[in-house]
Structure 1
Amino acid sequence: MRSERWSSRTADLTLPERVAWVLGDDDGRPLSTLTEPAGLLVAAAMVELLLDASLLDAGTAYRRGPVEVTDPLLRWVGEGLVAHGGAKADLQHAVTGPRGAQMIRRTMDRLVERGLAAREPRRVFGYLTMPVFGSALRVHDVDALHHDRTAVRAVLEGDEDPDEAVAMLVVLLHHGRRVRELSPSDPALAARRARAVADGRHVSLGVAQDIRRLVSPTVGAVLAALTATTVIGSDH
């Protein structure tokens, strides 16, 4: 989602890419591709698809919307959701197992393709250095990362009210419990601000309606599906 507040280098990032990007390390140190939140990335993609009318919430299922999806990452998520009927009861399959791992990998690959990050070679068996799946990413454009994280912190710390793009990101960070990873000066205040934005406050009326009607319920459902699957799996 575009916003004048983002760096010019990252203006075209999709919402899932934006989530992964702002959770990057301020110093550009390596980030593990295996620790990014698959459920949060899927939720971010679904939010963008729904807001663009490329995906429709039909009550008990998701359906293809009238607007064609042009971004390959978003298209992959959308097609995966509706491929077998789009039933919300099957939502956990989009965020766990192989598909969840693919979501992480595809999102990180996009950051590499855009030149914003690079894979860190890892030593394999102590002597061979090569990029491998699960290898770390190092942020290339640290200035752009600082710029974007500062823009989000300004909202979390109450210095600015969010536009639509920043608001959607803050909603995702709130539901994903990732607000502290933006390193706000007052974590408690930042958490309250994020919760308020996720409730539809500090934003325009139209954005508030989208958050309450569509965004917060969708993100909550995706993360609940992930949690339920994790709990069930832990019993075996």
Structure 2
Amino acid sequence: MDGKYGVLVVDDSAFMRKTISTLIEASPDFFVIGKARNGLDAIEKVKQLKPSIVTLDIEMPELDGLQTLGRLMNENPVPVVMLSNGADSTLEAFELGAVDFVIKEVLVNNTSSEVLDDFYQRLLVAASAKLPVLIQKEEVVPDKKVHTEDMIEMSKELLFIGTSTGGPSALQTILTKFPSDFHLPIVVVQHMPPGFTKPLADRFDSLCQLKVKEAEHNEILKPGTIYIAPAGYRQQLIKMKETYIK
């Protein structure tokens, strides 16, 4: 137990539990405090072992990852990094309180230094993360109206937000606070795998007071709209007579 942070590894596959545990313990910052074979086992071991971080598989019998996550956040909140291959379930996990996610298939099949460094960085951020306040659709409107003048100087033409590790949960907190009369276009660049940014935009659109969409090639940026930059492409903003994204 030389590492600083104890990790509970949750997966219904014994092979995956061993593989993920081996990767975690290859870093001097972590040690595996325990392993759980399903969601019910995970809930009990979080109570007993009090891990710094939980890596949680989504697809499991008895109690799947999302159900397990919901119970953990209600009963014993702990930083959770989801191991997932699907965008929809991953984004739902952020709504339930997950701090971050890792593409499971990439992690176990491509143990390059780049992939491992990214995994360890996400675990480090999760270990020190302040657990997000769960946001329900009916709670989106702030109790006290936030005036656009108080959020940003009126002379500005564009608001740009860049996030990486731990970003989606932070974005959910930030973007839902913008009022419906916000006067600038907002561009968000979030480090995500291809195929995840459109579902992310669609989910935020259902939560935010502003319209949220994935940005398209040569699209004119309109005030009061949040644009999620598509993954897998280089983005460039060009100022002409109007503002464009390409």
Q: TM-score range by the shorter chain?
A: under 0.3
Structure that is richer in helix per residue? 1
Name the structure, 1 or 2, with higher relative contact order (CA <8 Å, separation 6+): 1
**TM-score, normalising length from structure 2?**
0.26
**TM-score, normalising length from structure 1?**
0.26
Q: State which structure, 1 or 2, has the greater radius of gyration over its C-alpha atoms.
A: 2
